[in-house]
Structures are given as structure tokens and as C-alpha cells.
Structure 1
């Protein structure tokens, strides 16, 4: 009896200590949830298969969420596509993905007073192009804000490329772009569409889309995310990551706006959903677990519903 009372007291003491420690966090965080158990107050467009969420409260900023969850701003934006790069639309009482969204940056740096992009690049052994590729939300002036969490490595690059025809931004020059491709079973997607390459003169880039991509596509009336993914041989996961303002339902694609269709890093292996496909079958065909398929395609809903023509990342 005495032993039981001592054990119970120890459990209560640990619980109280944990509670006290949690109160020092800069934001309130929801408990870690399973990959298929999103909270009821999930922010519109945020990934629904994450392992950790936090509910924003009045006064919260993106920097506070990043610091509390130890994630980069790049990942916060990727896992919560509705957030803009200025983080001016963070909504109180809505839950945001802060962990388990897939492909999290493994090396972080928190901006302090006096930091500049060149100093961060020198300290972390990065070029300006690498820093921008890892943090595509940075503006052309590379302005930094104290408390922002930068991704500083690694900078992975596509390993397999194929050349496609392109048209230049100006009628007097021609630029060749490359897109990542790989052979997949049973369907191989090949890029066939004509594109325009990125340049400082691109004036119709969609709000929130990455500004350092090598290829953009201007949406025409009747286009869909599936048709764009198919034309450029890219995974829907990459299209969403390079164009954070696009929702996972792709109902906000704007005609006459240019979207990134070639950025880095990109999925190395793509599978196009065919009639009668289901997730378990695809997982078996490609030697993936359900968790791995979700990590590669975090836009999938909890039921893993598939649509014919969708491009899944399978490796």
C-alpha cells in the first residue's frame, strides 16, 4: 500500500512538472495526433495528415510557431499552404501543421540582430542560390527578420533530368529548361508542354508562388492542377510546395497567372493514378508503407481518396 501511494505521488509530481514546463512555451500546442487524425479546427488548406498541430492564439506570429515547434518557416509555409509569406493571415483558434508534414528541413538557423544573408551563407557554407532555394519565401533583397527560422541545409538537387522545348520570356532569346523525370510502373509521365523560363521580368507570377523557379506556366481558362502536372511531369506535392497559395483541392487556380512548374528539390519518381487504383495497391507496388506514401503526398486526405490522373510522388 505504501509503495502504491509513493508511485502515485511520483506520477502526479511528473505530470505537474511537465505542465509547468509547457507553460513556458511561446505558443500553445495541441498534443501530437496520428497521421490520419487531424484536429476539428484545422486551418483551411493545411495538411491533414501531420503528426503535430498547434492552435494559434491572439498575438501569435509565424516566428513564434516556428520557434516552439523547432521548424523552418519554409516547412511551416509548405505544410500550411494558405499562409502567405508575410504571415499576415495567421488566424487565432485555428490549428496549423507544425510537424510530420514530410521532408522537414534537418538544419535550422534562427535570425538574430545584425544578421545578413551573406553572413548566414558564410557561416553555413552556402551560396546565395542555395540559401534562396532552401528558403524560397525570401524576397529579392534577402531581408531578414529577427526570430525567423531559416533552413540552412541540406540543398538537394535533382539527379535525373530530361530536356524539353521552351519559349523564352522575350521574343529575341531562347532558353532551355530541364525537368526531373524517372521511369515508373505502370505509367510514365513525360513533359510535353511549351514553357517560359523564370526571369526578373516575369510580372504575372501568382501571389505566394516561388520566385526563383526555372520554369513557369501561365494558366489558361479550363486548366486544372492535374492537367498542369501531367504536362510538366511533376508530382502534385511539388506543385503545391512551389505554389503555396494553391489549396489541396486546387479550386483557386487563377487564369493568366504564372505558376512555378520547375523548382528544387523535386520528387524523383512519379506515378499517375489510373482507374481502379487505390492507395494500398500503390504502396505494395512501390514498396511503400502507408506512412511513407502520406509523407511523400501530404495533401492526401485521411481516407486516401485518389482521382484518376493525379500524379503521386512514390520515391
Structure 2
């Protein structure tokens, strides 16, 4: 699959700019004159099937809207040219001032609590409590303020924030409660009556640090979680992230001169001797083909690896597969700690991208794969569909005359219940 190097996520992190963050798809083809200045998403015509109907259906546009956004396209859809980028969304999908939609006016008002606006795509329908994000807010700060849910809950309710929480937008509403969510933090009588006997918590810490921490580490400039985890050897990254959620799952939130939790009651105070020996051996022992294995690596990496790749903060499993022409199945087999869903890909760690004997190269379908796509999409896909905020699995099945079983087989990341259908991503609709 081809991963376009010209695709840019334009999410602007809250706190970096005072304006509302945006998620942009930059035009990577020629732009015809007359397109609106507030266009926030473009699609480039690369295949015959990408006509007016295809783009209008995929982005829930009226034909009159598409022609208005793209004056070079005639009412009969003539004028579309290969390699040209066409506007399919304005103002981040939010109605412009003075705009009204007949569909919204025609729909009955829900009897449950009104949903505030604006919100991001995918917000859970059963939400009963909302929070409007401010400039500088982070997932860890919101979770710490409420103390009635954890990050997994928050991400489940608000999938658009992304697993690294880079998608929080100022002045946008997020779900902070569903039926059954406590309305206040649970009381802790033991903590209210007994003072901890451990060390005093340093002042320079980030939001959400675990309250039962007994050992702290002050980060130096340029320090990474991999270095911290390796230097202590008494916990892994999942544990470190649980204790210090503000660092983010990609560990981009480590700040110099701030303190991080490196121990709670029960955490070993010294490295286990067996782990130290194993790490030392891994750093100095050569594999059977004579190639040294560079540290650090994940546990369980195959011993016959002969090609390695250092993961950065921007590395994804898709980018590794595309660059080295390997399958996700092989990649997960060689690096089991990464997982089949790529949840264990750690920055600043080496992963195996080739083994002795190699793997047979799968023949190309000859069809260019657009981006972005979700992990696990079949490699022999010949037809793609861009998911809009209003797209459902049912609408895709009806339009392309395919079954849900086929859709899930070709796009396993969306799940059998269609809970993983992400707006502004492409899905496979034909092989």
C-alpha cells in the first residue's frame, strides 16, 4: 500500500495556538480557481470512479454544494480532471454563519439532554454530561479534574481526540459522563484520615500523576521514556504511562526538570538480576547471521532478525509496512510486543523489519491506495471510499452492494459492530 508523503494532518495542538484547532487535508494536486477560502478538506481525482456522485455521497454533499465549492465543475459534472484537488468540506464541516440545513430542521428534537455544539465526529450518542475544552487543556487535566473516569473511558466517549490525545480542540465540547458515570469522585476515608508515610510529592509534576507514588525521577533535557524505563528496570512503559498519564501514549509529553513517578508501594527498588543479564546479553550478542541486535528492543523479538528500524514519534505500523514492503502479520510475528493492532509500538525502540531468508513479496494490485487508512486493511483492495462524519456501515453496504461480513473482512479495524469507522479515513469497498 502506498502512503502519501504529501498528506498532512493539520491538527493544531491546544495551547500552541489561540485559534480553534483544525484537521486539514492539504490539496496535493492542482487547485482550480474559484474554490472557497475556508475550504478545509480536499480530495484529489486519481481514479475513474472518483466522480461527482462518488465525492458527494462520501461527504454527504448536495450536488449544488459541490458545484458551488468547485466552480470549474459543470452541473453535468464535466470539467473534473485527473490530478486536480476538489474541495469537499468548508469551515471544518461546521455550518457557516447564517447557513441552515433542511435535514436538521426536519428532524425531531431528541427528548434527552441537548447536545452542545461544536463537537467532534464520533462523540458517543448516550452522553449525558459535557465539558467545553479551554486553551491548554489536555486529556490528563480533564480526567484529573473530574476523577470519575479514566483515559480509556474518555477515549471511548470521544474517539476523535486520538490515542495520543493530540485532537483536543479549544472551545469544543467533549463527553465526560454517560448513564452510570459517578457525578463526583469516590471518597477515600483512609486517605482523608491517614497521611502518607512516603516522600513528599515534588511541586514540578504534571496533571494526573498517581497519588500513591513513593519514588520520583526528575527528567533531564532530551530524556525519553525508553531511557527512564531502561535505567530503572523495575517497570515497563505501560506501568510508567499508568503512573504518569500526561506523558501521552507516544511519550511526547516528557518535560525537562519535571518529576515523574517511578515507583509505588510494591515496586522493586533494584533491577531484577535476571533482567539485567538478559538486557546485557541482548546488547552484546550477535544474531546467527552475525548482525548485532541494537538496544533497546521489545521483549519477544525473533532471534533471526537481520534488519532493524528505530521507531520515532511519528512512526506508524502502516508506514513501516509500506517502506519495507512487509505485511502486518509478519511484522507482528517478528515483534509480538507490538501487537496485531499496533498498540505497542514505542518511540526510541528498535523493531525487526526483516529476517534471515526474508518473506515472499506479495504482488501489487496496480491500484494506488489513498491515505489515510486504518491498520489491517487488505492489500488487494481495488476500490476505496472516504468516510464522512455522517457515513455509516449501513450506508456503505447499501451503496456498494456489499455485506457487513465483507466490509469487516477487508477493514478489520472497524469491528463487527462498526465502532471503529473513522471519519476522514478511507475504507476498502471492493477487492
TM-score (norm 1): 0.30
TM-score (norm 2): 0.23
* Larger CA Rg, structure 1 vs 2: 2
Q: Which fold has the larger relative contact order, with Cα–Cα distance below 8 Å and residues 6 or more apart in sequence?
A: 1
